[in-house]
Amino acid sequence: MESVRAYRFRIYPDAKRQREIDEQIELARFLYNKLLGMAKEEYLKGRNLQITKSTFNRFMKEIGVRMGNSTGYTRRPSRTYS
């Protein structure tokens, strides 16, 4: 019989790191809601929205424009999702 182990980790970020974590969570929430809203609009029009890697990268650039330079998304991303 195979046994499975699980580990739990707890982090204690300082104030700067906590702000960075909060910004990343806010960006993820914004992106998810934006894509969900677009998918819902397309569904109501009777079409199916295909979220591709290029669509995702375009939204990442849009987030950088909306959020300003505080998150670093206005710079060239270190990783594209392709």
Taking only the tens place, the pLDDT of each residue in 29-41 is 888 888 888 888 8
CB of 59 within 8 A of CB of 35? Answer: yes
Please check the confidence at residue 76 and state whether its pLDDT lies above 70.
Answer: no
In the chain, domain spans = 15-70
Please check the confidence at residue 71 and state whether its pLDDT lies above 70.
Answer: no
CB of 61 within 8 A of CB of 73? Answer: yes
Q: Write down the pLDDT at residue 82.
A: 44
Residue whose C-alpha is closest to residue 72's, from 63, 80, 64: 64
User: At 64, which amino acid appears?
Assistant: G
pTM above 0.85, yes or no: no
Q: Write down the pLDDT at residue 68.
A: 56
Give me 76's structure tokens. 């060239």
